[in-house]
Amino acid sequence: MTSKTKSEAKATKPEAEMMHTSDVAAMLKIDSKILRKHLRAISGKAPGTRYEWKPNDPFLKKLPELIKAQEEKESAAKKKA
């Protein structure tokens, strides 16, 4: 059994390009700060979290719906206050 070095492993299996918040924000035509705010609310992760997805990630297809639901939830909460 032979072991491959990291460079050999990358040569045999190229990693898919990852999308980050700035890429997704541009795709959704919103500010990246607003996107991160929604992602924190949706996922419950702490500020400073690094978000990244593969371009074919199913979450990216659901994200516009999740953001809209989050905005409606925030709007309803503001009306109650």
The reported pLDDT for the residue numbered 37 is: 93
Confidence category of residue 32, pLDDT binned at 50, 70, 90:
very high
The reported pLDDT for the residue numbered 45 is: 84
The reported pLDDT for the residue numbered 66 is: 94
Q: For residue 54, what are the contacts with CB-CB under 8 A and spacing of at least 6?
A: 16, 18, 19
Lowest mean pLDDT among 9-13, 30-34, 40-44, 50-54: 9-13
Domain ranges of the chain: 16-80
pLDDT beyond 60 at 70: yes
Confidence category of residue 6, pLDDT binned at 50, 70, 90:
low
